[in-house]
Structure 1
Amino acid sequence: MSGGDVVYQAELHLQQEKACVLTALADENEGPLDIDIEELHDHNVTFVLHANGHADDWEDHLRAAEEVHHVDRLDDETLLVTKRSCGAYGAILKNHGVLRRTTSIGSRERVYHVLVFDREDLKAIVEDFRKVGSVTLGSLSEFGEGSSSLTPRQREVVETALDAGYFEWPREVTSEELAARLDISRPTFLEHLRKAEGTLLSQMLRESDGRARW
C-alpha cells in the first residue's frame, strides 16, 4: 500500500439463484442471518453464526448438510461453521478482495461489502458473481491511503499480508506463517487484520450512499 494508492469499497447485492444450507435457515429465521466471517480459505468459508434461539435445530441441520465440513458449538446462541462456498466467497478471495467481517445473509439476497485495490479486480468479482446469480452494485467509493486511520501495527499486518500473497488465489501464505513472521499469535494476527479491515470499510461506508446498477 504505497503512497497514493487508492482503495475501493463496493456494496454488492447478489440475488443468488442456487439455494444453499443457509437459505433454509434464513427462511426459518424469518429474516436475514447475521454471520461474522472468520476466514476465507480456498473454496471454503469459516464463520460464526448467531442462531437467535435456534442453535440446537440449526446445529443438527448444518451437521447433516453435505457442503458443511465442520460445526462447533461456541455457546447457547452461536455456532462456528466451516462450509464450502456456494460461489460468492470464492469469487471475492480469488480476485484479491477483502470481505467485511459482519455479513447479512437473506434467503435469496446477500449483501457484501468488499474492499479491492484495483477496479479490474472488482469487475472480475462482479463477473464471477454473475455465475451464481444477478448482481447489483449498491455503491462504490474510493479514498487514498492518507485518509486511513489504521494503527501502525494494523498497517504492518495489512502490508505484510498483501506483500506475502495472503489475499492471492490460491493463498500463498497461511495466517499461521504470517503470525510467526510478525512474532505474534495467530489469533492476534487475525484480530489486527479484522480491525484494520473494519476501519477501512467503516470509513468508506460513511462516504458511500445511493444505489447504482452495475
Structure 2
Amino acid sequence: MIQAEQSSPPSELSPGAQGILKIAEALFAEKGFDAVSLNQIAMHAQVSKANIFHHFKSKEALYLSVLKGACTRSAAALDVGKTRSTDNPLEQMEQFYLSHLQTILSESLSTQLIQRELMENSEQRGKQLAEEVFADTFSKVVSLVNRAKAKGMVREEIDPSLLAFLLLGSSGIFFEMRSVLKHLPDVHFAESPEDYSAAVIDILKNGFK
C-alpha cells in the first residue's frame, strides 16, 4: 500500500528527475505499481538506484509524482478552455471537454497509467489518490458546472459533482474503447474526437426528452 508522502510537483523537478519520471511512467503504465521495482527503473533510466533516491524518497513518492504529472497534463485542458475568447461557462465546458479528450488521447501513457490505477487500487489507495492526485482537477470541473448553474445555464436540480463525473468519465471511456468502437455497427464517431465531444455535450446539455 502506498504511504502518503510529500512529493515535489513535476514541473519543479530537475532534468535528471524528469528523465526518471518518464521511464517510471512507461513502466508503471505497462505493468502496474507492484510489478515494477526501483532496480528496473534505474536500469531503464541508465542511472543508479541511489540516484533515484536522491530525487525521490521512495518508490511510493516516485509513483505519486508520476501520477500527479499525468493528472497535471490532463488538467491543463481546463486552463486551455479558460483562456479562449468566451466568458460563457457553458461554452468553456464544451471547450474543456474537447480539449480534455484530445489531451488524454495524445497523452496515452499518462491515461493508461491513470486508468490502470483506478481499476487496481485498494480502498486506502483510492482515498489517497482522491485527496492527493485527482481532487484538484475534479474540483475545477465542479466549479465550472457551478458557474454555469449560477447563470441559469444548468438546471438547479442537477448535481454538479455528477455532471463533472460524467464529463471526465465519458472521455475516459472513449479512450479505453476507441479500438473497439470503430468496429461496431452504426458507430460514426470512433475516429473523430470532435464529433464524439459535440455529441456527448449535446446529450448532457439537452438530456433525453
TM-score using structure 1 length: 0.27
More strand, by proportion = 1
Look at both structures and tell me which one has the larger radius of gyration over its CA atoms.
2
Tell which has more relative contact order, 1 or 2 (C-alpha 8 A, sep 6+): 1
